[in-house]
Amino acid sequence: MPVLTPEQEQIGKDNFSGAVHAMNSANVNRREMIKAAAAGGLGLGAAFAGYRELKGEPVRVGFIGTGDEGNILLSEHPPEYMDVVAIADLRPSNRERAMIGDGNEHRVGLINKLGADKAGKIQVFDSHKAMLDKAKDLKLEAVVIATPLMTHAPIALDCMSAGLHVLTEKLMARTIPQCKEMIRTARDNNLLLAVGHQRHYSVLYDNANNLVQNGLLGDLKHIRAQWHRNNSFPAGDSWRKGTPGADRGLKADNLKGFGFEDVNQLVNWRLYNKTGGGLMAELGSHQMDACSIFLGKVHPVAVSGFGGKNFYGIPGVGPKDKWDDDREIDDQIFVTFEFPGAQYAENDRDKCIVTYSSINTNKFEPYGEIVYGTRGTLFMKTEKEAMLWKEDGRGSVGGGPDQRLWVISGSAAGGGPVMEAYETTSGPKVETGGTDWASNVSRGYTEEMEHFCYAIRNQGPDYWPGGQPISPKEGGLRCNGIVAMADAIMALTANIAMDKQQRIEFNADWFDPDSDACPEEAFGVEI
């Protein structure tokens, strides 16, 4: 990610806001969406994602998994659309945490979110199975699943078998055969299956993608994504957690019924191959999803890369508390994806290369994605900020991080929009329509849950016309099971490529939910 001065970042944000305002103003549909949202009191997320205010009673929902991610979802859940009537978690500490939160804005707890009276009426269970036993009494309609990766598919299948719609956290499942079974089960039971890749519901990413799809950046040949952290300090590791006292009484024999060998594996599930999917599944899948959005959700051609456990568990490397670390997942990964370019069908050399890295030993640069186009550069920073700069070129005023710009419609070859730069870094005030389009703080969690509930009420009986889910373009879920399976295929195939140390070409049948073909079978991976 670029190292920029505060002034350069502000110029980039101003450029992005101005470009978004110009493009939204020029596009009749987007302009009318924004007006309708303002008139109807809806948030911009509803306008851009194509849903409306919920008519009728909120959907009765149970939350399964109330740990780190589950608590964020509980804090972000929309009461006007979603009535939380039950929670379930194997860990007593998480059940308590769901009620009282962490004392910060990200995990406020249900008591602070809903009030003590409402929160006190929510039924609490020690497993999803116990919740499902009471599903009829609770009048449950849907569940939100935010449990360890290994359990996503088993829990989702149990819930769909009970007739419940499912929104599960990403990665969709631990294996691709599980993804396909989830899609088939949802279709056979006429149920909605959504997956929590929340960038699909981010107004920030929607506007950024609109700029890309309208050609403002020119031709895309490279996207660089990363999620770097530094867990190298003594007793410093965000994924290595101690077992709270409230959880120490959990019996291994009981946990084995849910797939866990012991309490440590339940608490630290991200560190083991059986229970998690490593850095690529937990972090990289988000960003590969974002990159594929910018590239039109086309499937990649091939992937290669390096991954290694080369910091943890190596005597003499790092502080002593890291020397005997028993994690199984890689602590550094570097992958390269080859995506087809616009002319790939006619010329297989036309590709866009996407690189991704995730490391645990340095966080100098923030996580995010940089989209490099022939006419401009887009920087998506930590999901919350967007910056845009023009390329310097012959016949145009210079670009770069110090240059302010504006958008001229219909000036490019073919009538598309182009960016022009001011001669000085000061320039006139950027016209944004009064909206800071570059710093939308919503990450899409609330919007994905709103749309999920809206779709249940308005699309539920007819969600699978012709055996396919209603497409996002027609107002269907933006990240349905088929969309999410493609993200899982990218992440899990990257893991195989790193393990096998070879370039792997993607097979079109892997992306077909009705085909049994999968990357695990193709490369002899035990599942």
Residue pLDDT, tens place only, 116-172? 999 999 999 999 999 999 999 999 999 999 999 999 999 999 999 999 999 999 999
Pick from 23-37, 58-72, 184-198, 229-243: least confident: 23-37
Q: Which of 72, 68, 61 is nearest to 149 (CA)?
A: 68
Q: Indicate the residue type of 93.
A: S
Which amino acid makes up residue 223? I
Distance CA 279, CA 204 (A): 24
Q: What is the pTM of this model?
A: 0.95
| Mean pLDDT over each residue of the chain, to the nearest integer | 93
Residue 246 phi/psi, 5-degree rounding, is: -65, -20
pLDDT over threshold 90, residue 414: no
Residue 426 clears pLDDT 70, i.e. is over it: no
Residue 3 has pLDDT above 90, yes or no: no
pLDDT band at 115 (very low <50, low <70, confident <90, very high): very high
The string of DSSP codes covering 231-274 is --STT--TT--PPPGGGTT--HHHHHTTT-SSHHHHHTGGGSTT
Question: What burial class does residue 414 get, using C-beta atoms within 10 Å of its C-beta: 0-12 exposed, 13-18 middle, 19+ buried?
Answer: exposed
- Give the bridge partners for 373, in sequence order: 220
Please state which of the ranges 230-244, 292-306, 412-426, 458-472 shows the lowest mean pLDDT. 412-426
Kindly report which listed range (56-60, 109-113, 267-271, 460-464) carries the lowest average pLDDT score. Answer: 460-464
Integer Cα distance of 338 and 456 in angstroms: 36
What's residue 410's pLDDT? 58
- Average confidence (pLDDT) over 180-195: 97
**What confidence tens digit (pLDDT) does each residue in 76-112 have?**
999 999 999 999 999 999 999 999 999 999 999 999 9
Q: Which of 3-7, 308-312, 503-507 has the highest mean pLDDT?
A: 503-507
What's the rounded mean pLDDT across residues 268-293? Answer: 96
Residue 166 bridge partners (DSSP): 143, 193
Q: How far apart are CA 512 and CA 176, in angstroms?
A: 11
pLDDT tens track for 24-55:
988 888 888 888 777 777 788 888 888 999 98
According to the model, what pLDDT value does residue 404 have? 85
**Residue 239 to residue 265: CA distance in whole angstroms:** 12
**344 has a pLDDT exceeding 70:** yes
* End-to-end Cα spacing for the chain: 36
Which band of pLDDT confidence, cut at 50, 70 and 90, is reported for residue 415? Answer: low
What pLDDT shows up at residue 218? 94
Q: What are 455-506's pLDDT values in tens digits?
A: 999 998 889 999 999 999 899 999 999 999 999 999 999 999 999 999 999 9
Sign of CA dihedral 413, 219, 429, 39: positive
As given in the structure block, the two tokens for residue 265 are 């594996």
pLDDT on residue 412:
54
d(C-alpha 148, C-alpha 3), whole Å: 35
Tell me the percentage of the chain whose pLDDT exceeds 90. Answer: 81
Residue 429 binned pLDDT confidence (cut-offs 50, 70, 90): low
